[in-house]
Structure 1
Amino acid sequence: MAITRVIENESNGQDQQQELISPECKELLISLPKERGWRTPNLYLYQHFWCQPKEIQAIISVQNHYNAENTDLIVATIPKSGTTWLKALSFAIVNRRNFAHNQKNHPLLTSNSHELVPFLEYKLFADYENIPDMSRFPRPLLLGTHMPINALPDSVMDLKCKIVYMVRNPFDTFVSIWHFMNKLRPEYLGPLSLEEAFDMYCRGAIGFGPYWDHMLGYWYESLRAPQKVLFLKYEEVKENTCFHLKKLAEFLGFPFSLEEEEGGAVEGIAKLCSFDKMKDLDVNKTGKGAITAGFENRDLFRKGEVGDWANLLTPLMVERLTDIMEEKLAGSGLTFGVFCNEKRS
């Protein structure tokens, strides 16, 4: 069962950001390095990654107050790397005994997946004055986060709860985040040009970045403890969704039976959670508030394509980011061949 009603907050500007954080957090911000923000005036470097003030407040609350249980399931991503899709797939898998994929009352037909799989930092712990009592929610809990793995509470790492992590090739991730942030960016900050945004991205100055550190944290933990962290690539899941759906279900502890497979349950969930299906739902065309109050759900759906970066980035941009990723990922075993060969050709 999912958590469908949670605390919501929205911040549109520095004054509102300050109002939503505690005096202790305001004091902390003074001591932190800062950079120009994407949708707020500033990002701050906290625990080795860049965040908005409200996110830092929420992360502190998560670390101090969220005590995981063995059955908890965490869906983790870098922003704009398939989060909405992965949440939908995970929810459909875990709840399929209560809601068959072909039922007209399936929650995914009337609720955005971010409502069904709430963010720790944007929903549950977004208000530092109203800490939720997690013990009142039915288990297993299915929760989402953009937090780096080193920022997760000790209980998440110490117990048997599982983490599913999805990453997308850094080029498409940049293009998606740039389009997304310009929709959310308040008018008083002005538009963020492609060139400015790309430079910030390459320097790691982006929410929950540097992204290479984010992905490597989960990558190394998936190698060290594959029973704990399942590492997925967006492009691979998109290419063979049913194969990875079965892999995901097995990892989460909800494997498909032979009868279910023969009955088309895997294909049914893949269709139910497909980009085109979700984008065409009324809740995602006209609905609001999936992530924060006032948020337009339609902004979560643009193209969902692999390789769309080639339509926007210049050869010099491609070369710069490829060189950065080759340097940062060197020796890790993590690769994104989708772009490297094109740059060298």
Structure 2
Amino acid sequence: MMANSSAEELLSSLPREEGITSAYSYQYQGFWYAPRSLPGLIDCQNQFQARENDIFLVTAPKSGTTWLKAVLYALMNREACHPQDPAHPLLKQNPHQLVPFLEILKPTEYDSVSNSSDKSSSRIFGSHIPTASLPKSIIKESKIVYLCRDIKDTFVSLFHFTSHRSSPISLENAFNLFCRGVSISGPIWDHILGYWKESVERPDKVLFMRYEEMTDEPHAQLRRLAHFIGKPFSQEEENSGLLDQIIKLCSFDGLSKLEVNKTGNWISNVRNDSFFRSGVVGDWKNYLTAEMASKLDQITEEKFHGSGLYMT
């Protein structure tokens, strides 16, 4: 693990701005990070070695990460842990415990991750790391599932996530920082574009998914995800209602009512229930003015122009 003195020295050398979810954010390799996440990111860049059958679920923060972690875990482990099993791990543990963020793990913990029954060496990791900063072995060896969400909803969810801050930040201040790209793993547009381009160039290695499509057509998206990770549903599984069972187990309503997700802290001062606020598509309409929404749409259109990616 990066020594405290080395971490402090690094932070002191980086551009710093006010943060949305923390007092300060630091710019590293073109993106912004909270001070506590940078040492782990640098550790994994230097020490993590991906395996060919590792699977990485990558998102910009507050894009549906918790939900897709649950879905991916249930999908990968459906033979060993049937979704209707009353002792299913998702009923007892937070999805972030079952599918850990790579950049939060210590280097000594990389090889101990064993969250898939598919093969003895399979591992599932979550991450918010942009393509520019991913450990090279991940790009070369592993499959990546990328989930994006309407940027207006992403911002509103991110703002509500600031409730654990010691000093509150106003919606207007957070919005201005977000529009300037000063958000965790932001600019969000660069984050999304990086994985979009990878998915176009290497569709066998990078699957690009949308939160809204998962909400609108969960069966089709579940089949798509299962096929991508090499575990397509058999006709027998289809006939038995397994897809519906996985969708029910991993539903926002179901997960949010579990005791493990209503109480306690998964990490430091971040409450487990803060990962289960709303999940509603279009919730931004309750918080953003028409002018704010228009500004985010305009930035998104300008950033994505010519890429083939449309999100507004």
Query: Does the Cα contact within 8 Å between 1:278 and 1:284 map onto a contact in 2?
Result: yes
The reply on whether 1:252 has 2:229 as its aligned counterpart is: yes
Query: Does the Cα contact within 8 Å between 2:20 and 2:177 map onto a contact in 1?
Result: no
Letter of the structure 1 residue corresponding to residue 153 of structure 2: D
Query: Does the Cα contact within 8 Å between 1:66 and 1:134 map onto a contact in 2?
Result: no
Structure 2 unmatched runs, 5+: 115-119
In 1: Cα distance, 2:3 partner to 2:253 partner: 38
Q: CA offsets, 1:190-247, max 9 Å, x none? A: 2110100000000000110000000000000000000000000000111011110011
* Residues 283 and 133 (structure 1), Cα distance of their counterparts in 2 relative to 1, 3 Å cut: closer
Deviation at 1:21, TM superposition (A): 5.4
The reply on whether 1:170 has 2:147 as its aligned counterpart is: no
State which of 202, 211, 219 in structure 2 corresponds to 1:225.
Answer: 202
* Residues 247 and 314 (structure 1), Cα distance of their counterparts in 2 relative to 1, 3 Å cut: same
**Pairs within 5 Å for 1:256-295:** 256-289=233-266, 292-295=267-270
SS of the aligned residue for 1:131 comes to helix
In 1: Cα distance, 2:305 partner to 2:93 partner: 41
TM-score normalised over the length of structure 1: 0.86
Corresponding residue of 1:336:
311
Query: Does the Cα contact within 8 Å between 2:7 and 2:39 map onto a contact in 1?
Result: yes
Deviation at 1:170, TM superposition (A): 0.4
Percentage of pairs with the same residue: 46
State which of 17, 24, 38 in structure 1 corresponds to 2:6.
Answer: 24
Corresponding residue of 2:160:
179
Moved more, 229-238 or 137-146: 137-146
Letter of the structure 1 residue corresponding to residue 68 of structure 2: L
Query: Does the Cα contact within 8 Å between 1:75 and 1:87 map onto a contact in 2?
Result: yes
Q: CA offsets, 1:55-88, max 9 Å, x none? A: 1111100111110010101010111110000000
In 2: Cα distance, 1:53 partner to 1:140 partner: 30
State which of 301, 304, 322 in structure 1 corresponds to 2:297.
Answer: 322
Corresponding residue of 2:277:
302
**What do you get for the CA RMSD once the two structures are aligned?**
1.6
TM-score normalised over the length of structure 2: 0.95
Letter of the structure 1 residue corresponding to residue 132 of structure 2: N
Corresponding residue of 2:218:
241
State which of 58, 69, 78 in structure 2 corresponds to 1:96.
Answer: 78
Deviation at 1:131, TM superposition (A): 3.1
Structure 1 unmatched runs, 5+: 1-6, 8-19, 338-345
Q: CA offsets, 1:162-188, max 9 Å, x none? A: 00010000000000000111x1111xx
In 2: Cα distance, 1:50 partner to 1:65 partner: 21
SS of the aligned residue for 2:144 comes to strand
SS of the aligned residue for 2:108 comes to coil
